[in-house]
Amino acid sequence: MSEPREPGFSTLAIHAGAQPDPSTGARATPIYQTTSFVFDDVDHAASLFGLQAFGNIYTRIGNPTCAVLEERIAALEGGTAALAVASGHAAEHLVFHTLLSPGDEFIAARQLYGGSVNQFGEAYKKFGWNVVWADIDDISSFENAVSDKTKAIFIESIANPGGAITDIEAISKIAKKAGVPLIVDNTMASPYLCQPFKHGADIIVHSATKFLGGHGNSIGGLIVDGGTFDWSAPGKYPSLSEPCASYQGMVLYETFGNFAFAIACRVLGLRDLGPALSPFNAFMLLTGIETLPLRMQRHSDNALKVAEYLKAHPKVDYVNYSGLEGDKYNEAAKKYCPKGAGAVFTFGLKGGYDAGVALVSGVEMFSHLANIGDTRSLIIHPASTTHRQLTDEQKTKAGAGPEVVRLSIGIEEVADIIADLDQALEKI
């Protein structure tokens, strides 16, 4: 007999985690729009609340529609388990809530989405969680930042907004030497373009709002457990390695093994903090994921052509797109994102801040808004919007200087995308 065939990515994007509904035969995953679920009997209820059995209790903790989404992203990323939550920010928060105690530190790349920079540098101070910044262009800065208080390293696979490709493998070696998990935000790449677990990541987070959903209609976040990290070090990660008072002294790592982190995020973080994903949004995100491979390839192909056009335009000073030959991240893109460098990139206008404002005011087909990953082409001037809360120095370090414009290239006809940019540039 021949060996069983492993399903391909496009097949998993449609089928992973889903079965026809057993009671109705519905082919599409139903929206289980309910707050709670009936128990079989008292013993069944007790086993669910005691984590002795898997099942549904209350939609804040888990829901059958969300469960299909969780299984699908775990399959696409090659992880052991996943958790769906209300937003990408919520995913980050639950990850760090599980890992950190007051006074702990984590290392994060400077090249991050501005909202993450603000969350890590400001909001987390209230929890006593301290971020230490490092630079993906200086890998030694990650190693130099490690201390006895370090509990994790956080990077993006493709940095937002600059489009820089992070050397996941090199930073993974530093994380392993330090004995801490490497967390990779894979939002900009999606698992179609980059699979961080293959390069040494331990945990992946997504803003599913972006390319996974792909249509700009639903907010959600995802945490994926790679099942690769040893949580047993005494005292280092007490949520996983020490007896849990909420569950009669159960040690989550001993009980759940290589998916203990995902369980901890659910039964300690999501249970108590409550950023649950609605079943309706889970359904919308599942629908989007079905076309993820088709969309991501079109996004990347279109983005490369637009980047080439802008690079040759007389009013453009530079283009940061790792898909371009000669770009400083081009070799890294070939290694980590061989199918394409994604949809999002930045470029600098020779006219600076005022030219950036004029360009976003002059486009007609592009939508000027604070999102990425839509089927539609999107544009924003980060210095005046998404990164406005940062200092000028932080903006520049994050790749969002005053002259920078960020594009998220859609799946329209590429000639129409270029024509819209061309007429807007002519107005400057």
Q: Mean pLDDT over residues 67-71, rounded?
A: 98
pLDDT digits (tens, 9 = 90+) for 154-205: 999 999 878 899 999 999 999 999 999 999 999 999 999 999 999 999 999 9
Check residue 398 and give its pLDDT. 66
Read off the pTM: 0.95
Structure letter (DSSP) for residue 83 = E
Fold for 293-426, please state it: Aspartate Aminotransferase, domain 1 (3.90.1150)
Instruction: Please enumerate in sequence order all residues whose Cβ is within 8 A of that of 324, keeping only pairs 6 or more positions apart, or say none.
Output: 304, 307, 308, 311, 330
pLDDT digits 0-9 by tens, 233-281: 989 999 999 999 999 999 999 999 999 999 999 999 999 999 999 999 9
| Range list for CATH 3.90.1150.10 in the chain | 293-426
Quickly count helices (H) and strands (E) in the chain: 18, 12
pLDDT of the residue at 291: 98
Count of alpha carbons within 13 Å of 218, Cβ hemisphere only? 24
Q: What is the pLDDT of residues 23-32, one digit of tens each?
A: 899 999 999 9
Distance CA 415, CA 394 (A): 35
Q: φ and ψ at 65, to 5 degrees?
A: -65, -45
**Domain(s) of CATH 3.40.640.10: residues in the chain:** 9-288
**9-288 in CATH: which number?**
3.40.640.10
Q: Quick one: how far is CA 233 from the chain centroid? A: 27
CB atoms within 10 A of CB 323: 23
Residue 5: which residues within 8 A CB-CB, separation 6 or more? Answer: none
